[in-house]
Chain A
Amino acid sequence: MKIQRFAILPCALLSLIAGHAALAAGDQVVIGDIDDLSGVYADVQGPGGIEAINMAIADFGGTVIGKKITLLSVDHQNKPDIGASKFREWADQNGLNMLIGGSNTGVSIAMSKVAVAKKVAFFAIGAGGASLTGADCTAYTVHYAYDTTALANGTASVIVKQGGKSWFFLTADYAFGTQLQDSATKVVLANGGKVLGAVRVPLGTTDFSSFLLQAQSSGAQVLGLANAGTDFSNSLKGANEFGLTKTMTPAALLAFLSDINSLTLQTAQGLYLTTGWYWDLNEETRAFGKRFFAKMHKEPTMTQAAYYSATLQYLKAVKTVGSTDSDKVMAELKKTKINDMFAKNGYIRADGLMIHTMYVMQVKTPAESKYPWDYYKVIKVMSGEEAFGSQPDPTCPLIK
């Protein structure tokens, strides 16, 4: 009796798993979201990103080519190995068709390798590193919302042209931070500026005072913050406290609406930053903001809006080609213009980078802000080519 029961249990489990996988692969279109859901970047997309994908699925009608659309999501905890192994698991066992990658360039680079191995369309959205469509590019990667090149071409060039010629960088010590610093350095040098120093700070540092002191003694005019999330908030807060913001111009090389909201305008006012989207740009963006706000009680960030847009564009492409075959879908995506509330006449370049308009913003003062979440004023509108460069990245092996 006992032996029988032991034998039955694994068999039953196995058949359940096998049955489930077959069902998933056949009858559903599966979208995955691997993001930082609990760490320093969780407010950038996080639960709001999941909501944005769900909104897109609902707007699309919940089915495509006669199959139900389902969403999987998991927290990568900012660890590349977790991101890559979860991606592999979903591709093998759950019939994953498309993956959206959240924050963290390091994790996204690891996941892009899996995208090639498993032939699954991979939309890198939360991550900024330009190498995703450069040295690390793949035939299945789309870099959708922004990248470190565009951030530098926006914020750094505006500040250098306004006379901020000498820079000191506070850099997050991993792929994203160093790529951002490199891009910004190029822009600063190209515009006749110079870099007086840089310090690499471990991710998740809370006390930036030592580094700020080094920045202060460098005598630079501009404090370049090549970091993001809580690192960015804490470094700017420290810069205010030590009086650096009186003698230096802080430049946020990447700041999200969620960061400005948590810092408050009092601390963040006057800051320059570059973004691919803002909820208060036009009627369409405000309409999306309003729907999102009704669910999440905050306005969406650039990347949350991009989550929505990318999901819709992918589903449209699947519908057009009538299949979830990644090669066919990628070909369709690369020849179609993107027109929705996120981008106008956007297009995906041969190296996988989505080219679209970017905005250099300045954070309003508390007096200029007239209503809740009224945080940015547009300083400069950059065409996609101006922001991302007019040629594909030659280091990408896809470009011959």
Chain B
Amino acid sequence: MTTVFGVPLPAILGQLMLGLVNGSFYALLSLGLAVIFGLLGIVNFAHGAFYMLGAFAAYIGLQAFGVNYWFALLLAPLIVALLGVIIERLFLRHLYRLDPLYGLLLTFGIALIAEGIMRDQFGASGKSYPVPELLRGVFNLGFMVLPIYRAWVVAASVTVCGVTWFLIERTRLGATLRAATENAQLVQAFGINVPLIVMGTYGAGVALAALAGVLAAPVVQVSPLMGSSLVIVVFAVVVIGGMGSIIGAIVSGLALGLIEGLTKVIYPEASNIVVFVIMAVVLIWRPAGLFGKE
């Protein structure tokens, strides 16, 4: 059998495939973070909590109101985004002119509160969300068995990332957004409601996190801590990609998923630090990140 680093080729292919699935989650989450940081300058530490709330919104929707997975994909991000918008209006908007550290502390606090409330309500071991009927079963790829649901996650995530990138980088709306962050006063002078745009942007970033949460719900246990274990890795992904770079977040999210997957076959004990090692190397070599502007 062909081997690479002493590991059989089919095993490597399998892990790369799974890395791609995890990378899809990283990409989707770091995309939301990059949008919020790039356009508002807020280091949104509550991102993991919004991801967790998205998953719980889907769970509660299913249990209490019989809302199925497909509607949850639409509804949960909307509900959580609404919550995000309220937080932006009440708290965050007061911090835009201050040091980013204040935003970081505030959002970190919000994350702790959200986790605490959900732990009190649902317990730490979390809840099970079933895989939707249509996506049950597996594809046999020869070198591995891939659950259909995981393939769907990759497709959904890549699509959403692509659309978001296109909206921000290639449309008039995106151009207005970017202009508003460069020079808010000038854009306002053109009669554009900048605070509204900012609010909408934060809401959209939060919605991306919640969407990732709904996508993750059938794969992992829906638990209050599901976000906090992920958000640190996602921050590292954003730093590697370059803070605020949309394309950087997408590309490095997918790439780090792949690298992590490889680590899991070669030396599993290191699998949860490899991302940080890469972050350290990137920071030494290119402090602004791979796609960041110096």
A-side residues, CB < 8 A to B, are 38-43, 46, 173, 199-202, 204-207, 209-211, 213-214, 216-217, 229-230, 233-234, 237-238, 241-243, 258-259, 261-264, 266-267
Contacts and interface: CB of A to CB of B under 8 A. Distances in A.
Given A200-B268, A258-B125, 13 more contacts: A38-B124, A40-B125, A42-B119, A202-B271, A202-B272, A206-B230, A207-B22, A210-B271, A213-B144, A217-B11, A242-B138, A261-B125, A263-B221
B268 A201 contact: yes
Contacts of A237: 128, 219-221
Contacts of B131: 241
Contacts of B19: 210
B10 A230 contact: no
Contact of B221 (A209, A213, A234): A234
A230 B221 contact: yes
Contacts of B173: none
Contact of A230 (B126, B271, B272): B126
Nearest to A233: B221
B145 A43 contact: no
Interface of A is mostly: helix
Nearest to B268: A199
Interface of B: 8, 10-11, 14-15, 18-19, 21-22, 116, 119, 123-128, 130-131, 138, 144-145, 147, 149-150, 219-221, 223, 225-226, 229-230, 261, 264-265, 268-269, 271-272
Nearest to B226: A206
Contacts of A266: 128, 130
A201 B263 CA distance: 12
Contacts of A210: 15, 18-19, 261, 264-265, 268, 271
Contact of B124 (A39, A206, A267): A39
Contact of B269 (A40, A200, A242, A267): A200
A213 B124 contact: no
Contacts of B268: 199-201, 210-211
A241 B21 CA distance: 14
Contacts of A213: 11, 14-15, 18, 144
Contacts of B271: 202, 205, 210
A241 B149 contact: yes
